Chain A
Amino acid sequence: MHEFSVANSLLRLIEENVRQNHGKSVIKVVVKVGVLSGIEPHLLKVAFDHLKERSVADKSELIIEVQQVLIRCRECGYTGEVEDYQFVCKECGSHQLDILDGKDMVLKSIQMEA
């Protein structure tokens, strides 16, 4: 249950950006959570909603976009999503895969009152 630590980092990042943009209060926060980040979206929401009280984001809505693992095969160039964490190319069976997306949690955007 590390989502509270993650939500705390997220709130710090939000506060920093609101300050830089001279915003007043936050309306909406959009994050992308990669399936490989190990962050559970539901628990992240629970943690965020709990921690946002007494912050500039206290009335904000958290939108979580779940990002599947996207790979590109080095052998045949196939690009697609990985299913069930099986890291094998669906086209040619190669294990030489580059992960394009789905590893990190990214704060995409903040909608705030100016």
Chain B
Amino acid sequence: MADDGNHHPQGIPHSINSNFDDDFEKSDENSPLLSSGVPRGASCNDVEYRGPLTGCGAWKLCDPRSAWHRYTFILILTCLLSFGSYYCYDTPSALEEVIKDDMQIDTSTYELLYSLYSWPNVVLCFFGGFLLDRVFGIRIGTLVFGGFVLTGQLIFALGALFDSWICMVAGRFVFGLGGENLAVAQNTYAVTWFKEKELNMVFGLQLSFSRIGSTLNMNVNKPIYDSINNDLLPYQRLGYTLLVGVAMCVFSVICGIVIGILDFRAEKLLNRNKASTGEVIRIRDIKDFPANLWLIFLICVFYYITVFPFITIGVVFFSEKYELTPAAANIVNSLVYFISAGASPIFGFIVDKTGRNIFWVIIGTVITLGCHLTLAFTFITPFAVMSVMGLAYSILACSLWPLVAFIMPEHQLGTSYGFMQSIQNLGLAVVSIIVGVIVDGSGYLILEVFMCAMLCVAIMFSVLLYLIDASRGTGLNFSAKERRLIKEAKKREKEMQTSCD
């Protein structure tokens, strides 16, 4: 069967390693031949339609197989899919003081808005990913999760508008049901359309859009609130401000509908449905997840906990240790976000061009370790250190996430990404607590040492991943050239098989 070279990989020579199946690459396309090697579940019998299309499809822009189509519609739409959810996610933090004053709540109550989002998502993502694979399918799934996000934000906004705190909290919970899962759906869309092509770059670009979403949120919410008619009651002004977020969510849902239609059309036109294996994921498949997938999850957790929990408490560190003004400390603290927004697509492109994802993962982790060591033991300007950390984070993010698509068969992708997100959420939630305890009790130096130790663990896992990959020949660390050669060999082989049928 077509999907996994992972389970019994030892005896499979590279040239027929089905990880590098190629049922989706079009011969008439002149996009760069960058194979990332994703199983698509094709076999000799399942051949995608390759002939010319009529009607709109005859145009490059409308032909689902064309790079034009991918770059214009699909790329933009996938990126915008979760724009609304990223914009809304950080709204409470952008309006923290306003919410506390207008709703008359204290800090610990306010924090419910985040904990009611993050803790349920420790498990929700996993089930969301599974539902995506098993029940909804990606198109309906995207709309369902997008709908949760929209409804949640709407309840949240109405709660403010009618001065009901409970309603607001409930809204955040509903929002959480969709938020992270929508990101999983977004990843799955990206894989469906861009695997074996520009997947690393697309992941990078999605990352930038999410960062742009949160940055926009951080900067516009307060001005919007301030610009709303002063005669209204404070909580009504808050409500109207939050309704802007609802508009963003509506926009994202529309994007979800359009991309769903385009995906459906592509499937019809290209006969893609037949090309799939028809396999479905079962819960017990999880125990068969290959070791290198678990390693990827672990690298993901141990890396992410050293970046984001640190940033949440970074302002005090920067302002006190480097004697920066609070404004400057805030800028330093958000540098990782800014830099990664710009650098992710670029690094994604470079990783696409070079391949060797595991090396990039190791490089990203080692550089981040260097940054944390510098922060811990020197007084070198944090502007430089945090910028470098932003670059390292971009490198890691756009080389690590696509690895899952290299390993897992398509019908398990949603579950895999959901699982990854779940574990990441768990790690972030737990470590945020640990970080607070360490800083309160022992200070930032010890915290930095803890971060460095976690990064060392991540490096260990990355090296282990490299070793396992090398010994089992799963090809995660192939260079772009090797991938291309394998793909070409594969294509020839398939043509031979087709002709023999």
| A, B assembled together | no
Chain A residues in the interface with B (C-beta under 8 A):
none
